Every structure is written in structure tokens, then in C-alpha cells.
Amino acid sequence: MKKFDTLMNKLPIIYALFIPVNFYMHILGATVCNIHPAFFIVLDILRILVIALYGHYLALRYDESKNEKDVSNMFMFVAGIAFLAFVYNTVVSLGLSSVTRSANESIMVAAMVLELMIETIAFFHIAKQDAKLITVIWVGINIALGIVALADLNNPGKNAFWYVMIALVTRDLYKARIIYSQELVNQKQDVK
């Protein structure tokens, strides 16, 4: 039980590091490398597990008396979407469905966008508990990411892939900062 408690205390750091690394490994595998699909299946299963455990961690940390929003259910919803996308993609990849490649990519992108939107809202509520400036920067980063992604969709001739990647890296670094600052607040409250 002690090992589980230690793992739960490290979960924000694991979430902040693993989720972006997982995403960038998928991008790397899709664009540059020829990595065995089993590796990505394991990564996807671990991703779902990390998201669900982080949601559980937030549920354990939730304090009703502080009058703050419980965002743990949002992370459980993201884990559910990730699981459904994983099952769908596995079925399509195994050839058990007659979905075209472009339709499959569209469905996977829609699932990813939905996950990003829900995660953005959840981290908005987490950041709001900490400071107004953090909230403004978080919203600004996500709006910039949306504008760059929409510009790429509207004019695919201009390769905005790297701009989207830079915006995503900035978003992930700032998300890690939000998690870290929230953990500092939680540690101070635990000491009291």
C-alpha cells in the first residue's frame, strides 16, 4: 500500500511528462520512424491508465469545503474517450472494419480534439485556483494553438505542422507548470 501511495503522490509529475512524450512518440512514429505497432498499443494502454489514475488522484485531492470545481470527472471522461479511440483504431488497424483511411484519420483527430478541449477546460479550472495570470496565459496558449491549427486546415499548402508542434510543446510545458504550482499549493495545505 505504501508503494501505491508513493506512486499516487508522483502522479502529477508522471502525467505532466508521460502524456506529452506519448503524443510526440506517436508523431515521431507517424512521420519519421518505422516502429512496430505493438509499441504504440502499449503506449496507448499506458496513456489511458495514466489519465485515469490522474483523475483518481484529483478525486482524492478534491476538497468540497474550498468551493472549487471537481475536475476529476473530466479526466475520467478523457480516459474514456481515449479508450474508445484506442478500441476503434485497433479494430480498424486489424482490418475488421471497412472504414477508409481518411475517415479513420478524421475520427481519430476528432477524438484527439475532444480530448484536448476537455483537458483544456479542466486545466483552466485547476489554474484558476492558483492565479489569474496563469489562467490568462493558459487560455492564450490554447487560443493560439487553435488559430494555428485552423490556419493549417484552411491553407494546407503552407506547412504549419511545425507551428502546431511548437504550440503543443509550449502548451505541454505550461501544463506541467500548472501541475507543479498546484502541487506546491497542495503541499503547503498538507503541512497546515
Between CA 10 and CA 4 the distance in angstroms is 10
In percent, the amount of the chain with pLDDT more than 70 equals: 79
- What's phi and psi for 63, nearest 5 deg? -125, 110
pLDDT value for 45: 93
∠ CA 174-182-82, rounded to 5°: 65
Percent helix / strand / coil, the chain, rounded to 5: 85, 0, 15
The pTM (predicted TM-score) of the whole model is 0.77
Mean pLDDT throughout 162-178? 77
The tally of domains found in the chain comes to 1
Q: Which domain holds residue 111?
A: 2-191
Q: How confident is the model at residue 60 (pLDDT cuts 50, 70, 90)?
A: confident
**Range from 21-25, 31-35, 132-136, 188-192 carrying the lowest mean pLDDT:** 188-192
Q: What is the CA radius of gyration of the chain?
A: 18
The DSSP code for 97 is S
Through-space distance between the first and last CA atoms of the chain, rounded to whole angstroms: 24
Q: How confident is the model at residue 46 (pLDDT cuts 50, 70, 90)?
A: very high
∠ CA 11-13-16, rounded to 5°: 110
Q: How confident is the model at residue 171 (pLDDT cuts 50, 70, 90)?
A: confident
Q: Which carries the bigger pLDDT value, residue 78 or residue 11?
A: 78
Mean pLDDT throughout 24-35? 75
What's the chain's average pLDDT?
A: 78
Cell representation of residue 131: 492565479
The 10s digit of each residue's pLDDT in 106-148 is 787 788 888 888 888 888 887 776 666 677 777 787 787 777 7
Question: Taking 60 as the threshold, does the pLDDT of residue 156 lie above it?
Answer: no
Q: Positive or negative CA dihedral for 130, 16, 10, 76?
A: positive
Question: Taking 80 as the threshold, does the pLDDT of residue 91 lie above it?
Answer: yes
Between CA 187 and CA 183 the distance in angstroms is 6
pLDDT value for 129: 66
Q: Positive or negative CA dihedral for 119, 121, 124, 126?
A: negative
In percent, the amount of the chain with pLDDT more than 90 equals: 8
Contact 80, 111 (CB under 8 A): no
Angle between helices 101-130 and 72-93 (to 10 degrees): 160
